[in-house]
Structure 1
């Protein structure tokens, strides 16, 4: 069961990258649903920007929902302590782009550190579907849970009596 005690980690959905991502708009919509759901349910959030001077900043709709302290600049493909990513959380729910590069390498670092990792398949994208599919398969074999946006949101909720249920259900219906 995915816990609210973990962290949602959004990897590099940047303005110059996302237009090239297969199903890029759908990926962005799901990232936004996860981000809004995390806010409703008090789940910690961090996001990364890879070489923002070249690839651009995070997509404006995503950046606008984050605090400056939640955005980590990076030049390594993997987000890690050298980029300011805290390894204090027991689990990480990871989404973003590209699945086979920065998402993959970040998840592998987290797994090697003994963290529980869930990759949100429908909120991850690559330029080519085969790269995304192979990365998800590799991550699954390495021990990551492969999940969907709806799975994450419903597992965070746990029951229909949660005060955030209606708000989260609205996010799900918007997917």
Structure 2
């Protein structure tokens, strides 16, 4: 008899995107901050195209500022301030009805991203962390954080890979639009050095 394994299948109608604390005050300090923003822009565009809910948090915005100005949060389902490091806070939980998989990106890898991933995993969500969309002030923290998430049962992947996993078939009604998005963001993806720190 075969044993059922959780291989991290992801489906459009049961997925949410989590954008974690990509705030202005971090801009001069985070390793490859422009790459984090570029990946977030890609995922925000995809959330609109695929109608996937976007959950956004800001860590203590009075001290750390608002979310990066380049990021269009106009269609976010949730956009809240928090003091807890994890995004899994009471204001977010009610919006996760019917959600099985979370795609997580933002900063910092070893603090808010890690603690969000662990809380979600502990509450039986599949977690897919984007290696090209998470970073920290100290670049060496990234690899350790992603390894910790993997050891807890999370999945480390990339923005392009996850978008094609969500569609699953070239017959998907949004395939051409997502494919064009990937082409339009090719230069930013090529310049993204976060891959080198992800140890995938």
Q: TM-score category by the smaller chain?
A: over 0.9
Task: Report the counterpart of residue 152 of structure 1 in structure 2.
Answer: 162
Moved more, 82-91 or 10-19: 82-91
Written as runs of structure 1 = structure 2, the 5 A alignment for 1:66-145 is 66-67=74-75, 69-86=77-94, 87-88=96-97, 89-145=99-155
State the 1:163 CA deviation. Answer: 2.5
Which 5+ residue runs of structure 2 have no aligned equivalent?
1-8, 190-200
Moved more, 84-93 or 122-131: 84-93
- What TM-score results when the alignment is normalised by the length of structure 2? 0.81
2:21–2:57 Cα contact (<8 Å) kept? yes
Moved more, 140-149 or 70-79: 70-79
2:48–2:75 Cα contact (<8 Å) kept? no
Deviation digits for residues 134-162 of structure 1 (CA, Å, limit 9, x no counterpart): 00000000000001011111112212222
Separation in 2, partners of 1:71, 1:128: 27
Task: Report the counterpart of residue 16 of structure 1 in structure 2.
Answer: 25
User: Larger Cα Rg: Structure 1 or Structure 2?
Assistant: 2
Which 5+ residue runs of structure 1 have no aligned equivalent?
none
- What TM-score results when the alignment is normalised by the length of structure 1? 0.92
State the 1:20 CA deviation. Answer: 1.4
Aligned length: 174
State the 1:14 CA deviation. Answer: 0.5
Superposition RMSD in Å: 1.5
State the 1:81 CA deviation. Answer: 3.0
